[in-house]
Chains A and B, each alone.
Chain A
Amino acid sequence: MSLLERFDEGEIRALSKIVSLIENREEGYEDTLGHLYRKIGNTVRIGVTGPPGAGKSTIVNRLVHQLLKDDKRVGVVAVDPTSPFTGGALLGDRVRMNEFPIDGSFYFRSMATRGEVGGLASSTDNVAVAYDAFGFDVTLIETVGVGQVELDIIDTCDVVVVAVVPESGDAVQTMKAGLMEIADVFCVNKSDRPGSARIVADLRMSLELGNQSRDWWKVPVVATQAVKGENIDGLLEKILLYLSVARESGEFERHRRQQLEKKLWALLQDQITKEMQDKLSKMARIDQIVDNILNGNSDPFSASRELFQKWTDSVS
């Protein structure tokens, strides 16, 4: 039986092999993804992001338990950073993931960023496609610990939970652009610690002051204590509420279309860039152009315009 046939039969090992194929960009991975894309659309993707140590893994762990209790099949992708120095990675999100069934209703995969800087690995979205085709009801995607600008999660998920802790900062921090703007649901975790009520209030105030372009949704702030499972049902309830409101308003669909369009352009851009580099490096001496710029006889802007002209002439 081929790998894809075994995948279609629901064999976990086949899913694992296909995830590796996608992650390693092994030969034929694009065709495999092409095949998988034909049968997706039934999985909801929940993203969990936030700074290091906010409790993302623990929150994901608790959400999984809750979802399994509701008879959902759940897949998790958890991303941790790759070392820029050695290329190695310590993937530790599984430490929080014990006591799960092994009947195929739960699957967990750790991924290293492998050089990507947006909070996910470049193939995380493709891996989520494989999960969808495999038939999970829900895919949870956990980012690396992020700062303020690693926001790839919004292009990969249907709903984004931003987890923060009472120590995450004062009112001004909560008003900053970036991470604070992408939440569909805020989770203030470790809410037993001092300052919890204050950050909940600060977040709510920032949300009031902020850009309220989404008249169909008011971002809720949920206080949890994931380690004890405290108010995880409350968090899940808000996540599910968001999804149903988004579906009703047509935003769910619109967001997915937007994500696909972005992905399409990105893929096209990759191909064009590669093709262009291949061609131009044969047609022009890039090192001489760089020399010219260094000598003051040219500049990067005119040089790139000339190169672009050369390329368009060659393809027309």
Chain B
Amino acid sequence: MTEQKIRVLLAKPGLDGHDRGIKVIAAAFRDAGFEVIYTGLRQTPQMIVDAAVQEDVDAIGVSILSGAHMTLFPAILDELKERKAEDIILFGGGIIPDDDKAELEKLGVSKIFTPGAPTEEAIQFLKCEVEARKEQ
């Protein structure tokens, strides 16, 4: 009897300490039946990817409110490539201008959620994306 659960790692990379948003997401994911691994504040891209590999998660979600998104997202993508773990979905949220958002999604970030996005949207996104990757 197989019992699969969607596993998501949530982390705050970099130096900003505003973790209210990511805690809201963590609670919403938990209530959606996901297994949420919460790693907390001030994570380096290397720590995040290392944890994601150990926890064998389907996705990594990061919240960046510091403005360093154009550095941190690509660094996480690089790290994923290095660990041959590009199959792990990377998504994120934060105060991110539209131009940067497009750029990041082009680089390989699956989705960026900006302020005001309902949590249900993120839940549906993850369900669909995880399902799609499993079929590949």
**Are B38 and A112 touching (Cβ within 8 A)?**
no
A91 lies within 8 A of chain B by Cβ: yes
- Stretch of A12-20, A133-141, A220-228, A234-242 lying at the B interface: A12-20
Task: Tell me how many residues of A have a C-beta within 8 Å of chain B.
Answer: 29
Partner of A88, one of B32, B43, B85: B32
Which chain A residues (69-100) contact chain B, with CB distance < 8 Å? 82-83, 86-92, 94-95, 98
The CA-CA distance from A108 to B57 in the complex, in Å, is 13
Find chain B residues with CB under 8 A from A62 CB. Answer: none
Find chain B residues with CB under 8 A from A17 CB. Answer: 56
Interface size class of B (residues with CB under 8 A): 20 to 34
Give the residue name and chain of the B residue nearest to A85 (CB): B31
Which chain A residues (1-27) contact chain B, with CB distance < 8 Å? 12-13, 16-17, 19-20, 24-27
Give the residue name and chain of the A residue nearest to B49 (CB): A102
**Are B37 and A88 touching (Cβ within 8 A)?**
no
**Are B39 and A95 touching (Cβ within 8 A)?**
yes
Find chain B residues with CB under 8 A from A190 CB. Answer: none
**Are B51 and A94 touching (Cβ within 8 A)?**
yes
Q: Determine the main DSSP class of A at the interface with B.
A: mixed
Find chain B residues with CB under 8 A from A16 CB. Answer: 53-56
Give the residue name and chain of the A residue nearest to B51 (CB): A94
**Are B83 and A89 touching (Cβ within 8 A)?**
no
**Are B34 and A88 touching (Cβ within 8 A)?**
yes
B120 to chain A, nearest CB (A): 14
The CA-CA distance from A98 to B50 in the complex, in Å, is 11
Interface string of B66-91 (1 = CB under 8 A from A): 00000000000000000111000000
- Which A positions have Cβ atoms within 8 angstroms of B? 12-13, 16-17, 19-20, 24-27, 82-83, 86-92, 94-95, 98, 102, 107-110, 112, 114
